[in-house]
Amino acid sequence: DGGITQSPKYLFRKEGQNVTLSCEQNLNHDAMYWYRQDPGQGLRLIYYSQIVNDFQKGDIAEGYSVSREKKESFPLTVTSAQKNPTAFYLCASTSGPEQFFGPGTRLTVL
């Protein structure tokens, strides 16, 4: 079955640590996205990539980094520079206007 997988489902981080969230898709989509979801805030765009080896900052990129070495994979690193990283992170991919979402990773900073 085609789809988007994110791992882990739950992630706990100590302050000052970097963590990497995985996002993999087998839909053969060119474009991939990372969103952050906070209660009552909707979804906000962190980074997006429209093609391998290229990516752009979204609205809230500070404290995050990404890579796009393969079409299928778009990992997100939450660095220690991100002041308030506790949130639900959603990855998406698309080949047209409709975006397909993964199940999300809930990150909690201890």
Q: Of 70, 95, 103, 108, which one interacts with other proteins (CB under 8 A)?
A: 103
Q: Is 22 in the site for other proteins (CB under 8 A)?
A: no
Q: What are phi and psi of 89, to 5 degrees?
A: -110, 130
Cα separation, 25 vs 29, in Å, equals 8
Which residue, 11, 27, 18, 26, is CA-closest to 108? 11
Using rule CB under 8 A, residue 45 touches other proteins: yes
Here's the x/- map for other proteins, 52-91, by CB under 8 A: it reads as ------x-------------------------------x-
Residues 6 or more apart in contact with residue 73 via CB below 8 angstroms: 22, 23, 24
Q: Does 11 bind other proteins (CB under 8 A)?
A: no
Task: Identify the residue among 2, 16, 42, 110 touching other proteins (CB under 8 A).
Answer: 42
